[in-house]
Amino acid sequence: MGLYGRHIFPRLMDLVMSGAEFRQLRVALLHAAGGQVLEIGLGTGLNLPHYPNIVSRLCAVDPFPMLPDRLAARRETAPFPIEISRLSAETLPFDDQTFDCVVSTWTLCTIPDPVQALREVRRVLKPDGTFLFLEHGRSEEARIAAWQDRLNPLQRVIGCGCNLNRKIDQLIEQAGLTIRQLDRFQMRNVPRLGGAMYRGAAVPAASSSLRQRPLYEG
């Protein structure tokens, strides 16, 4: 990874993604996390201050070190132990059925093989565990989606591997998870190309816990 990927992109990402609208969305989603949690694509640790104190332990994976000083400062705010592995989500180093909850925010856009990563998420989730996701992806509007397709090659360069046009819900189902809750919306302060959101909760398909109540507050 060159100078841009190591120094400029992480700072830009951290600046943009620590904004108020991002923060509100993180808070609302993470309210539903608890127990033993795994976060894939930790980045600069922007979710860390927002986990509720019913989290007992957090494991996190990200293959790239992102602004270690800021990550360390955010890590200090957490009242639970945190273990960070510099690994890809496609090959998780955890036993089957380890976690009560797996979290992914703005990460499935970038993981090179998202379906393999999601298969791993399914494997490491306990049978009654929950996968919480908050991701941008392909727009429901044909005109916007066509522009996402056109501009995707450029985005992959300036966004260090980020794709604009992934159908996040399809990737999740393809990996054998069952979506229990899905909200599609447009972020107010993000250009339409990058602000088409998929927020939801999914469970391992074999799970018998047919939860009827919402898994998080939107």
Ligand X SMILES: C[S@@+](CC[C@H](N)C(=O)[O-])C[C@H]1O[C@@H](n2cnc3c(N)ncnc32)[C@H](O)[C@@H]1O
Binding site for ligand X (CB under 6 A): 13, 17, 40-41, 43, 46-47, 61-64, 66, 88-90, 105-107, 110-112
The CA distances from residue 129 to 26, 98, 103, in Å, are 19, 9, 11
Beta bridge partner(s), residue 83: 59
d(CA 185, CA 214): 17
H/E run at residue 117? helix 114-124
Q: Return the amino acid letter for 163.
A: N
Q: How far is the CB of 90 from ligand X (least distance, A)?
A: 6
- The residue (of 34 and 49) whose beta carbon lies closer to ligand X is 49
Nearer to ligand X, 48 or 145 (CB): 48
Report helix, strand or coil for 136.
Answer: strand
Smallest gap from residue 112 Cβ to ligand X (A): 6
Torsion of CA 149, 151, 152, 156, to 10 degrees: 180
Query: Smallest distance from the beta carbon of 107 to ligand X, in angstroms?
Result: 4
Give me the amino acid identity at 153: P
Instruction: Please report, as a single letter, which amino acid is at residue 213.
Output: R
Q: Which is nearer to ligand X, 44 or 207 (CB)?
A: 44
3-state helix, strand, coil in the chain (%, to 5): 35, 25, 40
Q: Which amino acid is at 205?
A: A
The residue sitting closest to ligand X, measured at its beta carbon, is: 43
Is the Cβ of residue 74 or residue 126 nearer to ligand X in the bound state? 74
Shortest distance, position 126 Cβ to ligand X, whole Å:
21
Tell me the closest approach of the beta carbon of residue 104 to ligand X, in angstroms.
7
Q: Which is nearer to ligand X, 193 or 207 (CB)?
A: 193
